A and B are shown apart, each in its own frame.
Chain A
Amino acid sequence: MKAVYSFFKSVRLTIVLILVIAALSLLASLVPQRRPDAWYRSHYSPFVSALIRLAALPRFFSSAGFLVPALLLTLNLGVCAVDRVVRRVKNKSTPRYGPDLIHLGLLILIAGGVVTALGRQETTWSLAVGEDAALNSTYALHLLSLQYLKYDNGAPKEWTSTVRITREGNIEIPSFPIRVNQPLRLKGLSVYQTAWELQGILDLKDADGQEVTATTGQGFPLGQSFWYFAEAQKARDAWSIVAVEYEGKEMKPVSTRELRAGDTLGPYTVLGITAREITGLKAVKDPGFAPFLAALVIIAVGLAVTFVQKNASRYSADSRRGTPADSRRGTPADSGRAEA
């Protein structure tokens, strides 16, 4: 037990683990994460692709290659934090709370990260004005209005989804504008503005005379091709849909068509086209966010305390020597070495 404790309280271990994690993260950052296996096969040579998958680089940050050194560093950090306190009590040395707070904050941050990784829940909706979405078994959201502002150059300036929140049928929040960077916070749940879309709606008649409805974002196979309804456009007060034809395993676009009412595409005849604005909303429940915030506060306080204590001890050392601060031979950091 003592040997294990000695092993984990080693600062040399800390340095080695930090550098190992940095080096592995560097490697992983060069490989796009969380793509399907086929993507790596098509973008790298067979040998490199096999190597990437063997090293679990596509999902590196949830693989043993990252988690094992991260776990060891966490244990190392915990033991070092405890050991600092134990040594201070034994030696009755000058307390330096800054590093203690930073270490404690980092441990809470890691705990928050684990809680987030295991417990974070996310739901997305595409809603038109007047539509509802259940946030959970108690709360529901109703989209009152949707606003999309653009700059003069056409770039997006602001998306605002104004919503009403009800609790078991009773109005809880009559109106709240959700914007990018301004989420709705509600009892541990946050609702974010994520997207805006002009959704085209096609009323179609198939070869059997059956009427079906399709929207932009959908498509259908036709022979060796796949036709995709890409976007809605308006010209001379009439809507049209841009359809893109893709071919082959890699789905390369080969042609486009602008569909209007009366046009035919494969077995389908377009009866009519309309469009509506859709907002993209995302609800997130992250039980790791509160510990994360607490950790940030503790780390910030720890950094400030470290800075203040080092400066204070530097100036007291200078005044004991009777030397001005700017001609000293030591550094602010040197003055804090005794306990490190």
Chain B
Amino acid sequence: MTATAGLLCIALAAVLQAGFLLRRENRRDPVSHWLLAAAALLLFVTLAERSVKISFVAVTGTYESLVFFSAAICVVLFGLRLALRTRGMSPFVMFGATFVCLVLLILSSSPLAPKDVQPPIPALQSYWLVLHVTFSFIGESFFVVSFVAAVAFLATRSEDRRADMDRLITTSIGIGYPVFTAGALIFGAIWAETAWGSWWSWDPKEIWALITWLIYTAYLHTRLVRKMRGRISAVLVIAGFLATLFTFFGVNFLLSGLHSYG
């Protein structure tokens, strides 16, 4: 029920943002980010309810992961919208990232993500896992913003807008990359060592998390060290986000391994 209400809030926010985009005034609507904040709250309530039922932090299944990911995107968009008041957070980026969030939440309602409340099996009963999952998704939420900004960067010819998008990409990856590194690689490796006695197993999920990390590492080197602000950096950001998506969906549904449960 709360998840459905959250979905409606996000859908309403997307409609509102689309309406402002179509007016071509490049003005940001004053309401949608508050709708996103409400949606995040409702989604966290959903997870809290499920956590109480299983007596553990409910981030261990595909449904819960998608709900958490969506909630994290809402929080990131709300935060960036407030933090970057005068420049940067363009209506297009807000709409694009909200749309990605909406798609993720709709996927959580599909048969791909069973909604039964399942208590965690022994391997999943670890707070390292909770840190691993939550930090990974928080980092990836910033990658959603950078992805939409990279698409906007490639789509526009205005140098001013490109500069804005470039700044937004760098800022969001600048925050998302260390959080993702901590979650996906550091906490993930510590959990794997505690659960299985091996901190790296070349499991498909691990390989894809590494690929994602390498692509964003390459971006940071092109953009910050080589000072390349052009298309190559933007393409790397898009590739990084596609790798992020494959790490979650592709590996879960196409490649089997240690992570085949979630």
Please report A residues at the B interface, Cβ cutoff 8 Å.
Answer: 11-12, 14-15, 18-19, 21-22, 25-26, 28-30, 33, 61, 113, 116, 120, 122, 151, 153, 155-159, 179-183, 190, 192-194, 282, 284, 286, 289, 292, 296, 299-300, 303-304, 306-307, 310, 326-327, 329-334, 336-337, 340
Asked if B181 and A299 sit within 8 Å, CB to CB, the answer is yes
CB distance from A313 to the nearest CB of B (A): 13
Closest partner residue, chain A, to B85 (CB atom): A326
Closest partner residue, chain A, to B190 (CB atom): A296
A190–B196 alpha-carbon span in the complex (Å): 10
**Candidates B84, B170, B194, B202; contact of A183 at CB < 8 Å:** B194
Task: Identify which of B196, B199, B211, B255 gathers the most chain A CB atoms within 10 Å of its CB.
Answer: B199
Asked if A157 and B223 sit within 8 Å, CB to CB, the answer is no
A55–B215 alpha-carbon span in the complex (Å): 23
Please report B residues at the A interface, Cβ cutoff 8 Å.
Answer: 83-87, 118-119, 121-123, 125-126, 128, 163, 166-167, 170-171, 174-175, 178, 181-182, 186, 189-191, 193-200, 202, 204, 207-208, 210-211, 214-215, 217-218, 221-227, 243, 251, 255
A303–B251 alpha-carbon span in the complex (Å): 28
Asked if A331 and B255 sit within 8 Å, CB to CB, the answer is no
Asked if B182 and A303 sit within 8 Å, CB to CB, the answer is yes
Asked if A26 and B125 sit within 8 Å, CB to CB, the answer is no
A180–B198 alpha-carbon span in the complex (Å): 13
6 A-B pairs besides A11-B225, A180-B125 with CB distance below 8 A are A18-B221, A120-B198, A180-B122, A181-B125, A327-B87, A331-B166
For this complex, 21 residue pairs linking A to B, each with C-beta atoms less than 8 Å apart, are A18-B214, A18-B215, A25-B211, A26-B207, A28-B207, A151-B119, A155-B118, A157-B119, A181-B128, A181-B194, A183-B194, A193-B122, A282-B197, A296-B189, A303-B178, A306-B178, A327-B86, A330-B167, A331-B166, A333-B224, A340-B225
Asked if A284 and B198 sit within 8 Å, CB to CB, the answer is yes
